[in-house]
Structure 1
C-alpha cells in the first residue's frame, strides 16, 4: 500500500464519511479515510431494530465508554455508547433526522463563527438530504431531494406512538408535521435516515454510494482509500505542520503521510483525545502525561456539552411494544419474516418514532426540551433486564448550561479517555428538567394512554403537582443520564482561545483541521447526527477553497455549492 496521500481523514463517522466522500468526488487527489473498527455490512447495523443488540454492550460496533462518577448525578457514571466501524455513531443511533433551529446556528455566528449562520449552513443540509417528501426536487426552501442521505417517514409506526401524539394533543400541545420545517414546536412523528426499511448511515450515503457489495468501501472511486481496522495513534508534526498520522494497522505501527492536510473527524470524545496525545492541548496536562508540547491550546477537551435525559417508563404488555415475553418472542419471529419479505413491520422501527419539542415556559422564543416516545420500557440503556414489555417517554434539556471535559487517561490512544459530563451540575438545567418531567407526566396521565393501563417503573410514587419537587429532583439525579449527543470539545470560534477557527483549522499549527460535532461551540436543539453530517459537508468545501487558493478546485465554498 502507498503510504502517502493528499488528504488523511481520521474517523469514518457521520462527518468523516461526508468529508472523505465529498473530497473524493470533487477532485483527483488521493484521500485516506482511517477507521479503527471494521465494515458496516452487518444485519445488526442495517436492520433498524438491531440497535437493541448493539447499544447495551461493548463490541465490534460500540466503544461503550463510561464517564467518571458525577456528584451531580448521585455519584453515578454515565454510559456512553459510541459507534465503532464505518458510519461511526450513525450506525448505532436512533436514525432521527433533526437539525435544531435556525437560532442555534445564528447563535454560532454571533459567537464568532463567521460563515456558520442558518443561511450559511442551510444549503449544506439540503445538499446532503434526499427527503422522500420532495424526492428528486431541489426547489423546496428547506429540504433537499437528491442528496446522498435518505430521509423518510416511519415505515410502520408503532400504534402507541399515535396514542402518545393523541395524549400530547389532549395536554394542549399542537401537532407538527415537520420538526425541520418553519416551526419546531409541537408533537408529531420524526423523520428517519432510512431507505426501503433499512438504516441509511453515513457510510452508505458517502462511501458505498448505495452499493450493496462494496468490499473496498469506496463506491468505486479509486482515489478514495478506506482503511478499516486502522487506529490513529498520533498526528505526526514537522515543527508546527501536520504531515501525517502514526497508525496501528495489521499489528504494526506505520506512518501515513499527508501531502496537504490531516482532518480529524473522530468525534467529540476521541478528536480531543487524539489532539492531546499528539501534543496539542493544555501544556500542563500534556506535560503530566509525558507528551511533548507542539501547541499550548488550553481549551482542547473543554466545553463538553451533552443533553441530560430522563426517562419515565410504563410497563404494559403488547406485542406492538418491544420487550422480552413469550408471546412477544413468537411475534418477533413472524415480524422477522415480514421484514425479510417486504422490509416492513416492527423490524423497521427506530424505537423512537414520535416525539415533541416543547417550551417549559411560554415566554421562551424556542422549545427548550425534547421528548422522545420509545416503544420499549428499556432501563439503564437496555442493560438492566426486566421481563415484559412497555413504553417510555424521554425528556432532555436542549441547551444545557453545564459543561464537562475530556482528558487523557494515558498518552496511548488504545486507552479510553477520561470523560466528565457534569450533567445537571448547573441548577438551571435541573429546573428545566424538573419542568420537563412534569410535562411528560401530564401527557402520560391523559386518557389516550391511561386507558391501556400500565405500571410506572420509577415514578409512580411521586407527585408532579409541585408539592413533591425535592423527591422528583432526587429521582432525576438517580435515573437521568446522557442521550448520546456529546459536542463542543474542540470549540470553533474567532477568539484566540478557540481550538479551531471558522475554517475548522486548528489554531497554532498548520495542515490540520477538525470536522465533527466537537467543533460546535454550543449544543443544537435536537439530535446531532444531521448537524454533524452538515459540518462534514461544509468542511469539504472549506478544504476545497483552500486548495483553490493554490490554483485547483473551486476557489470558494459558494462556488463549490453552485457546482
Structure 2
C-alpha cells in the first residue's frame, strides 16, 4: 500500500493540470492514476492524423445507448485513454465559451465561477503566440497558436459565410464570439500541445510526483464517511493507493460519475439495484449535455487532406512546423444565432478540408470538404448510469440528442444557415457536386437528415455538476476528502469546444485545493 497527499484519477486534461500544479510544492506527494499509458504514438503529435486514433488502443471506444432522438442509433463516443486524455486525440480547437455561460453558472449558485472570476485562470493557462492583452495570456503552459495549414477548402467556408452576410471574426475568445474565421489551436511549432505536453511532461521529473500508468481505478475507498484512497488494478494485482489529504476524480464526464457510483455515491435506487451500499444519495450521472453536430459534405476537384501524407508535407512539418499535416481538420468555423432575439450564439460551425462523415469513421475515398452546425446550447439532457458493478464495464450513456423540440428547431435553423453558405460563390466555385447533403430544405427533411447523419462533437459535460453533486469548490457533497475536477462539474455545456474550459477549471481547482483561491 502506497500513501500520498493527493491521489488524482485520470491523466486527461484536468488531471495533467492538477498533477503539475499540486506537485509544484516539493513537500506535497502526488499520485496520478491513468488507465492508459504514455502519449508516444506518432499519430497523437501529427495534428492531421488524429482520426487514426479513433477505435485504437488509445481510445475508450464508448457507445451510447440507442438514442431516441436520432432514430435509436447508438452514438460512437471516442475518449482518450492515454496521457493527455482527450487533449491527445481531439481537434485542438481553443475555444473558451461565452461570457453568458459562466455568468449563468454564477447566477444559478456557482459562486466564484462568473466570467470575470474565471478569466484569470484562462489567461494563466494560456501561452498565446499573439501575445498578452485584455483577454489573453502569453506566458501560460498551454501554447495557443494560429493554424499553420490554411487549407483553401477551409478558407472557402469563411469566404462564403462573409458572402452570405456574416461578419469575419479573428478572435472567438475576445470581445465577441459571433462571426466566422479561423480557429486558434493548442499547437506548439505545428505539433499538438496537449495537456500532457503542456503540463505533465515538464513535471514528470519531480520526485514528489508518481504516475501509475495502465492502472484501472475500481472505486474510491471511503472509511468513516471520508475518502481515504483509491482501489486500483495494475498488472493483474489490486491495491489501494491512499490519500492523506484528498482524492480527486478527473476521469471525465462519463467515467467520473461511474467511479462515484461504484463507490456508493449516486442515486440510491440505482446503487441498491446493483447491490452497492449507499454512502451518499446524490444525482450523480444526471444532467448530461453534449454538442450534436451534422456536416454537409461536398465533392471537389481541389486536392483535400485526403492526400496530405506526402514526403513534402512531412518535411514541412518536421523542418518548419507548417503545411497540411499541421491541419487540425476543423480549421475554420464560426458562431451564429438561430433567432434574432438571442444575445449569445446557439450555433457553432466547423469546416474541414476533407470529407467527414459516418461519425468521423467513414472512409474519405475522394477529394471533398465539409461544414455544418452543432446545437451549441442544448435544452436536452441525458444521463450516465451503471451497466454493471464491474469496474471494467462501460457505463450506460444516453444524451437525448434532438429529443427537445428547442434542439430540433436549432439544428434545422443551423442547416438553413449551412445551405445558405453552400449557395455562395466561394463554395459553388469549388464544389463539383454533393456527397452528403439534405434532400430538400423542407423542415421535415432537414430534421430527418440531421437525425440520420449527425454525431457528437465530443463535448460531454455536467454529470457531476456544481450545485447538485459538488459544491462551488468542487467538493462532493457529504463526502469529505473527495473532489471532482473535470468537465463533469460544469452546470451546463459551454458554448464552444470544451478543452480550454476544462483546463481553466483545473487551474482554478488547484488554487481551491491549496487555498490560494480563497
What displacement does 1:340 show?
Answer: 2.7
2:414 paired with 1:436: yes
2:18 alignment partner in structure 1: 19
**Which of the residues 478, 492, 495 maps onto 1:522?**
492
Counterpart selection for 1:482 from 436, 441, 456: 456
Task: Please state how far the C-alpha of 1:382 moved relative to its aligned partner.
Answer: 3.0
- Cα offset, 1:477, TM superposition: 1.2
Corresponding residue to 2:346 among 368, 373, 377 = 368
8 A Cα contact 2:439 2:445, kept in partner = no
Distance, in Å, in 1 between the alignment partners of 2:301 and 2:214 is 42
List structure 1 segments (4+ residues) > 6 angstroms apart after TM superposition.
none
The answer for the alignment partner of 2:447 in structure 1 is: 473
Does residue 42 in structure 1 map to residue 2 in structure 2? no
1:257 equivalenced with 2:245 (yes/no): no
Structure 2 partner of 1:557:
517
Whether 2:214 is the aligned partner of 1:229: answer yes
Aligned residues: 518
Match of 2:504 in 1: 534
Residue 386 of structure 1, CA deviation: 4.7
Matches within 5 A, 1:78-157: 78-134=75-131, 137=132, 140-157=133-150
The residue number in structure 1 matching 2:204 is 219
Structure 1 segments unaligned to the other structure (5+ residues): 210-217, 546-555, 559-563
Contact 2:121 2:504 in 1 (8 A): yes
- Establish whether residue 177 from structure 1 lines up as the match of residue 170 from structure 2: yes
Q: Report the alpha carbon displacement of residue 336 of structure 1 after superposing the two structures with TM.
A: 2.1
Contact 1:317 1:388 in 2 (8 A): no
Contact residue 423 and residue 481 of structure 1 kept, 8 A: no
Conserved 8 A contact 2:301-2:431:
no
1:448-468 deviation per Cα after TM superposition (whole angstroms, max 9, x unaligned): 110123322232531x2xxx2
Contact persistence 2:438–2:446 (CA under 8 A) = no
Hey, what's the Cα distance between the residues in 2 that align with 1:402 and 1:455? Answer: 34
> Is 1:425 equivalent to 2:403 in the alignment?
yes
How far has the Cα of 1:28 moved from its partner?
A: 1.8
Structure 2 Cα separation of the partners of residues 182 and 404 of structure 1? 32
Partner of 1:503: 473
* Map 1:302-321 → 2, pairs under 5 A: 302-319=286-303, 321=304
Contact 2:47-2:326 within 8 A present in 1 as well: yes
**2: CA distance, partners of 1:526 / 1:26:** 33
- In the alignment, what sits opposite 1:552? none
- Match for residue 75 of structure 1 among 72, 77, 83: 72
Partner of 1:288: 273
What TM-score do the two structures reach when normalised by structure 1? Answer: 0.90
**Contact map agreement 2:412 2:446 (CA 8 A) in 1:** yes
Cα deviation, residue 511, structure 1: 0.3
Structure 1 residue 378 displacement after superposition: 2.0
CA distance, structure 2, for counterparts of residue 267 and residue 511 of structure 1: 19
Work out the CA distance in 2 between the residues paired with 1:505 and 1:437: 41
Query: 1:159-193: per-residue Cα shift (whole Å, max 9, x none)?
Result: 12222111000000000010000011000010000
What CA RMSD, in Å, does the superposition of the two structures yield over aligned residues?
1.3
User: 1: CA distance between counterparts of 2:104 and 2:51?
Assistant: 36
Q: How many Å separate the matches in 2 of 1:206 and 1:512?
A: 23
Give the C-alpha shift of residue 108 in structure 1. 0.3
CA displacement at 1:60 relative to structure 2? 2.1
Q: Scaled by the length of structure 2, what TM-score is found?
A: 0.98
Structure 1 residue aligned with 2:333: 355
Q: Which runs of 5+ in 2 are unaligned?
A: none
> Is the CA contact 2:60–2:78 (under 8 Å) kept in the aligned structure 1?
yes
Matched residue SS, 1:357? strand
Deviation at 1:434, TM superposition (A): 0.3
Task: Please tell me whether the aligned partners of residues 65 and 79 of structure 1 are also in contact (alpha carbons under 8 angstroms).
Answer: yes
Question: Would the aligned equivalents of 2:60 and 2:81 in 1 still touch at CA under 8 Å?
Answer: yes
